[in-house]
Structure 1
Amino acid sequence: MERVRDVSELPKAHLHLHFTGSMRPTTVLELADKYGVRLPEALTDALTGGEPPRLRATDERGWFRFQRLYDAARSCIRSAEDIQRLVREAAEEDLRDGSGWLEIQVDPTSYAPRLGGLIPALEIILDAVDSASRDTGLGMRVLVAANRMKHPLDARTLARLAVRYADRGIIGFGLSNDERRGMARDFDRAFAIARDGGLLSAPHGGELAGPASVRDCLDDLEAHRIGHGVRAADDPRLMKRLADRGVTCEVCPASNVALGVYDKLEDVPLRTLFEAGVPMALGADDPLLFGSRLAAQYEIARRHHDFTDAELAELARQSIRGSAAPEGVKEKLLSDVDAWLTAPVGRSGPGADTPGSRRPAPSSGPGTGAAVW
């Protein structure tokens, strides 16, 4: 049988991973104990039992519950050392899953109150990314994301700050949180500032809202990538537009089911998007709350959508091409994908010195392998 290669050895780029949501469950529990934070029972039960919490964010109450759990986890991050630990562990987990390039998404305003302000918070985050990349060998960059729930003027401030620190490793500007709140056009000026400063435009769209939100991201924010974008599958003309323009959709299958966008993994339109020629970059989104990391998303494509190894390799190539990695890094990763696909079954595809194969020893506790947002 052909589809037997280890997807955790498949070199790939990870373009949709949120900062707090990248944490290991054990890390959240340890930090909560350190700072005396009382976590919601639903979160504690999920982190200690290894099962992600039951979430359904397709209604207002469900989204509020999801956000409450996320905010509780974020409240455990209180120092520069915590930031450094979070980023280092995210890099280790990505390496374990075959990632050779990671673009981690963060809204620094969420951490500013405990880290001395917005600029110190961003500098601490960028320093942590530099250190983790240097120590692990994983290529890492940062995508600064504004919050739809906040005023568009706040987004403009963030965009200016992101441009100011572009030479420190910021490659893009995003827009996250509930896409049913805040029209994309309300944030058009912030995205214009980011694009004029050389940053790629990567707003969320087409997850909780339908195809119209994807069109709004294209029309109003001139998106180079779309966070999620799965609801584009409901509109063949929109899929053709994405394919013709080469706009990569950062698709997160486990997240889509966990939040109730689709009922079953089989319902996520991976095959529809793939066959329409829409570039995709599979992502874990928030493994802390959704229960699976990067390699698991490729397993979903294999087991629930019958993707062959050749098709999985093409998904990995699409993630690499859609990234902001330097051309030399892209070329090396693409070559390693070819090596994975052509290697005899039972052997690693890339060599021992490639980014996808530099994998640290597993960590203990829940969150190893199929970890959690």
Structure 2
Amino acid sequence: MLHFPASASPGGRATDAPTGRNLRLLPKAHLHLHFTGSMRSDTLIELADKYGVHLPEALSSGEPPRLRATDERGWFRFQRLYDIARSCLREPEDIQRLVREAAEEDVRDGSRWLEIQVDPTSYAPRLGGLIPALEIILDAVDRAARDTGLGMRVLVAANRMKHPLDARTLARLAVRYADRGVVGFGLSNDERRGFARDFDRAFAIAREGGLLAAPHGGELAGPSSVRDCLDDLRAARVGHGVRAAEDPRLLRRLADRQVTCEVCPASNVALGVYDKAEDVPLRALFEAGVPMALGADDPLLFGARLADQYELARRSHGFTDAELAELARQSIRGSAAPTPVRDGLIAEIDAWLAAA
């Protein structure tokens, strides 16, 4: 179970640290946030009551559930909780609420750019089909971006537990909506299952359509899963990627190619990838020159949002404000934000660091 730093509140919200600048004021990009997993706990409880869905105590207590997904049974429990939560998103207004609240949480944590990850096939049965589901999601993202001022885009993700042909369908759909806010294509779920190369054609479709390739790898599986993302899927970013720290040659390769790893420290501890926050290899990746974008993954289940990840780097790994600013710059550089937006955000980061 994750133990939050001393300066974090019981709800997993980072507070001002007495020994450094306010991390909520540090401009940053958020590149690893799953759709259902971004939900507020109280929102889930309200929606479950609305639709008569029974929530297990792990989802209704308001506290992050105890999870350990490094074995098949633990991963199944994690997926079951996720599926129950997803079943409470049934109407367009539920989608709009989730996206608006996710944007509000990100803005509160200093995010200036969010790429939220979603598999629209999960919502299609209740929203009128695959295309209507994606259009409802994109409309919600567009509205939330206007209302909150947050730069917000979508990364469509295939499920590696499903057939690769399904992934090709999703890749074509993602390319079709590139002008509506889809910027990338991912591959999620248990990377211990199947082979990345089975999805190579789907990623080729996405890349040829101008989308960024960002599959999961190097979380539940070791360095080989990161290499597969690079070799078979030509990843520009890797979701998680922390297990690359076990292979110095792979670290050099990631650094040389400047492949950004979307590192989610609180998630890594909550799922049992590492026993405690100090074990997450943030320092190893940082000092090897591997770009990182800290992410919250699934705050609904892990209890920690974006600013908490930076707080963890400060408290558990001794990152200075200058180093935290560099992590924020790396998140901006790894994003799909247009160049003028990137330049402006990096200037804001420099101003945060220059402030007394």
Q: Equivalents in 2 of 1:40, 1:56: separation in Å?
A: 17
1:100 aligned to 103, 112, 123, which one? Answer: 112
Secondary structure in 1 aligned to 2:68?
coil
Deviation of residue 205 (structure 1)? Answer: 0.1
Q: Equivalents in 2 of 1:136, 1:81: separation in Å?
A: 17
2:242 counterpart of 1:230: yes
2:175 counterpart of 1:159: no
What amino acid does structure 2 have at the position aligned with 1:32? A
What amino acid does structure 1 have at the position aligned with 2:288? A
2:341 counterpart of 1:329: yes
Q: Equivalents in 1 of 2:310, 2:231: separation in Å?
A: 30
What is the TM-score of this pair, normalised by structure 1? 0.90
Match of 2:218 in 1: 206
CA contact (8 A) 2:47 2:89 kept: yes
Secondary structure in 2 aligned to 1:181?
coil
Alignment of 1:237-316 (within 5 A): 237-316=249-328
What is the TM-score of this pair, normalised by structure 2? 0.95
2:231 counterpart of 1:219: yes
Deviation of residue 2 (structure 1)? Answer: 9.4
Deviation of residue 42 (structure 1)? Answer: 2.1
Which digits, 9 at most, give the CA deviation of each residue in 1:127-164, with x for residues without a partner?
00000001110000000000010000000000000000
CA contact (8 A) 2:58 2:64 kept: no
Which digits, 9 at most, give the CA deviation of each residue in 1:80-139, with x for residues without a partner?
000000000000000000000000000000000000000000000000000000111000
2:184 aligned to 145, 151, 172, which one? Answer: 172
Secondary structure in 1 aligned to 2:214?
strand
2:40 counterpart of 1:24: yes
Q: Equivalents in 2 of 1:96, 1:79: separation in Å?
A: 26
Deviation of residue 41 (structure 1)? Answer: 2.5
Match of 2:28 in 1: 12
Which digits, 9 at most, give the CA deviation of each residue in 1:241-267, with x for residues without a partner?
000000000000000000000000000
Deviation of residue 39 (structure 1)? Answer: 1.1
Which digits, 9 at most, give the CA deviation of each residue in 1:25-59, with x for residues without a partner?
010000001111111222212x2xxx210000000
**Greater relative contact order (CA < 8 Å, ≥ 6 in sequence):** 1
Q: Cα RMSD over matched residues?
A: 0.9
Match of 2:9 in 1: none
CA contact (8 A) 1:309 1:341 kept: yes
What amino acid does structure 2 have at the position aligned with 1:38? H
Match of 1:130 in 2: 142
Identity over aligned pairs, percent: 84
Q: Equivalents in 1 of 2:18, 2:81: separation in Å?
A: 41
2:58 counterpart of 1:42: yes
Deviation of residue 3 (structure 1)? Answer: 4.3
2:66 counterpart of 1:54: yes
CA contact (8 A) 1:282 1:294 kept: yes
CA contact (8 A) 1:102 1:138 kept: yes
Secondary structure in 2 aligned to 1:263?
coil
Q: In structure 2, do the counterparts of structure 1 residues 31 and 183 end up closer, same or farther at CA, with 3 Å as the change threshold? A: same
Alignment of 1:362-373 (within 5 A): none
Q: Equivalents in 2 of 1:182, 1:201: separation in Å?
A: 18
What amino acid does structure 1 have at the position aligned with 2:248? P
Runs of 4+ in 1 over 3 A off after TM superposition: none
- Pairs aligned (count): 340
2:83 counterpart of 1:67: no
CA contact (8 A) 2:216 2:238 kept: yes
Match of 1:87 in 2: 99
Secondary structure in 1 aligned to 2:329?
helix
What amino acid does structure 2 have at the position aligned with 1:16? H
Is there any run of 5+ residues in structure 2 with no aligned partner, and where?
Answer: 1-16
Q: In structure 2, do the counterparts of structure 1 residues 312 and 2 end up closer, same or farther at CA, with 3 Å as the change threshold? A: farther
CA contact (8 A) 1:156 1:193 kept: yes
Secondary structure in 2 aligned to 1:54?
coil
Deviation of residue 182 (structure 1)? Answer: 1.7
Which digits, 9 at most, give the CA deviation of each residue in 1:44-81, with x for residues without a partner?
12x2xxx2100000000000000000001101000000
Q: Equivalents in 2 of 1:259, 1:189: separation in Å?
A: 30
Q: Equivalents in 2 of 1:42, 1:308: separation in Å?
A: 35
Which digits, 9 at most, give the CA deviation of each residue in 1:157-211, with x for residues without a partner?
0000000000000000000000001200000000000000000000000000000
Q: Equivalents in 1 of 2:312, 2:228: separation in Å?
A: 29
CA contact (8 A) 1:3 1:308 kept: no
Is there any run of 5+ residues in structure 1 with no aligned partner, and where?
Answer: 345-373
Q: Equivalents in 2 of 1:300, 1:118: separation in Å?
A: 38
Q: Equivalents in 1 of 2:42, 2:18: separation in Å?
A: 36
CA contact (8 A) 1:2 1:308 kept: no
CA contact (8 A) 1:52 1:289 kept: yes
CA contact (8 A) 2:236 2:260 kept: yes
